[in-house]
Structure 1
Amino acid sequence: MKISKIQLDDSMWKGANSGTFKKAQILREDMTNSETLLWNKLKDKRLLGCKIRRQHPIGIYIVDFYIHKYNLVIEVDGEYHDKQEQIIKDKERTNFLEFNGLKVIRFKNKEVENDILSVINQIRNEIEK
């Protein structure tokens, strides 16, 4: 994916349009079990000391979780993300996000479901860098 300088946007939404915001609102009501499990931990600001947004629009994408204070995107991936076509799309998405100054970390559903404390610690380590 070739990214032009026009796409560089330092706002919280990186140029997301109204349609993306509407889709994000729908996705907040229909999160996966793993996303919900992680959200139930992350929504307590005391855990990491910052506000975390779920199903947050950034450009043409909607990220699972976003911490604006640390420019950090957190994605929770199911088996669908193991398919070759989706791996390519995820790489393009990550390239766009990183071009816009964001750090992206990914977790598999099973990681969240089987060891949520390790996931939280990895997120904590990332924001403490």
Structure 2
Amino acid sequence: MGYPPLQGEGDRAQRGGGGVPRIPRPEVVTARALRRRMSYPEVLLWQRLRGQATGVKFRKQHPIGPYVVDFYCASARLVIEVDGVGHDGCQVERDELRDGFLRENGYRVLRVRADDVTRDMAAVVAAIVSCAARPLHHASHGPPPRAGEDI
């Protein structure tokens, strides 16, 4: 004969409990979908950035606030955006709003043209790693300015 189940362990625990299923934020759902259908230049760049081959860790299609950025380096608070043919016309205005939001929240944004990724990958990766290696703020300069104070 076995022992009776402990507190919280019963028939329901064996079936997976009875909790409420988690519903991810819309940005997370979007990011997961974008990871599955990255553009060709994004895939090429990700192959070079992934797995800390560059000495810096990157995430792909990472949600930040209401946006999903192409690549993100958390240690440098650096956002990498790959701009392709779709970044013409009204897309430029949306990109400016997005970049403004990111900068106001302490992120640096580096935009890379998709043509440059396919043409000279080594130079693009070198520029990204160089930018990620430079810290956002030097401690010797005092605390960083708050939004609007640097004007």
TM-score, normalization: structure 2?
A: 0.71
Match of 1:32 among 36, 39, 43: 39
Alignment of 1:58-97 (within 5 A): 58-83=64-89, 85-97=90-102
Q: Equivalent residues in 2 for 1:1-129 (5 A)?
A: 18-47=25-54, 49-83=55-89, 85-129=90-134
Structure possessing the higher relative contact order (Cα contacts under 8 Å, 6 or more residues apart): 1
Deviation readout 1:19-51 (Å, 9 max, x if unpaired) = 11011001101000000000000003031x222
* Residue aligned with 2:86, SS: helix
In 2, distance between residues paired with 1:125 and 1:51?
13
* Deviation at residue 79 of structure 1 after TM alignment: 1.2
Output the CA distance in 1 between the equivalents of 2:51 and 2:122.
14
TM-score between the two structures when normalised by the length of structure 1:
0.83
CA distance in 1, matches of 2:35, 2:53: 22
CA 1:50–1:128 in structure 2 vs 1: closer, same or farther (change >3 Å)? Answer: closer
Q: Secondary structure at 1:55's aligned position in 2?
A: strand
C-alpha distance in 2 between matches for 1:50 and 1:120: 11
Distance (Å, rounded) in 2 between the aligned partners of 1:79 and 1:44: 28
- When the two chains are superposed, the root-mean-square deviation of aligned CA atoms in Å is 1.1
* Partner secondary structure for residue 106 of structure 2: coil
Q: Count residues in correspondence.
A: 111
Among all aligned residue pairs of Structure 1 and Structure 2, give the percentage whose two residues are the same amino acid: 40
After TM superposition, give the deviation of residue 128 of structure 1 in Å.
Answer: 2.4
Paired letter, 1:34:
P
- Which is greater in Rg? 2
SS of match in other structure, 1:80: coil
Secondary structure (helix, strand or coil) at the match of 1:81 reads coil
Cα distance in 1 for residues equivalent to 2:132 and 2:33: 28
Name the structure where helix makes up a greater proportion of residues. Answer: 1
